[in-house]
Amino acid sequence: MLRIFAFLTVLFVTTLAIAHEDNSTTEELSMMPEWQLYNEAGQLVKSSDFLGKPLVIHFWATWCPYCKKLQPGLDKLYLKYQADGLQMIAVSLREDEGATPQKELDSRGITFKTLINGDDVGKNLFSVSGTPTTVFVSRAGHVIGSTSISEADDPRLEIAVKYIVEN
């Protein structure tokens, strides 16, 4: 367990350092900020809806080829660990007018849902500077890290998911 934590720390400290354009120091295991967004159906979803559950937040855009490449791998992990309580939510940002993110995910066979108009939440609360950006939140609500990995089968994604499911 200690080796996994050490690996995750190195992985995510590196990606967090890159993600913060202002080079500010990020507190290790900071709490997930409070946020609220709507889905395409107009239903409000809040960060508090995920309290006590391991959560993956996937920031993406319908026009992003790297997101399209990554999503089948995220969905595979979501389905594999859903019985263990894993929650996964996508947050669409920087969309062209008329984009329909949920319909796009549905057409790709992706089972997790997306929220829309996440530009401010992504930039201001999670320091998202590009897509895809994937954030991992433990059951306790701690942000353990984020990554810009776009390889669907990258084993580090499953390591991070296992960590948040088990802790």
Task: Determine phi and psi for 35, rounding to 5 degrees.
Answer: -150, 165
Share the mean pLDDT of the chain.
Answer: 88
pLDDT tens profile 122-151: 999 999 999 999 999 999 999 999 999 999
Unique residue bearing structure tokens 């995750």:
8
Q: State pTM to two decimals.
A: 0.83
Rounded Cα distance, 88 and 70, in Å:
14
The CATH architecture assigned to 2-166 reads: 3-Layer(aba) Sandwich (3.40)
Q: Tell me if 163 sits within 8 A of 52, measured CB to CB.
A: no
pLDDT tens profile 55-101: 999 999 999 999 999 999 999 999 999 999 999 999 999 999 999 99
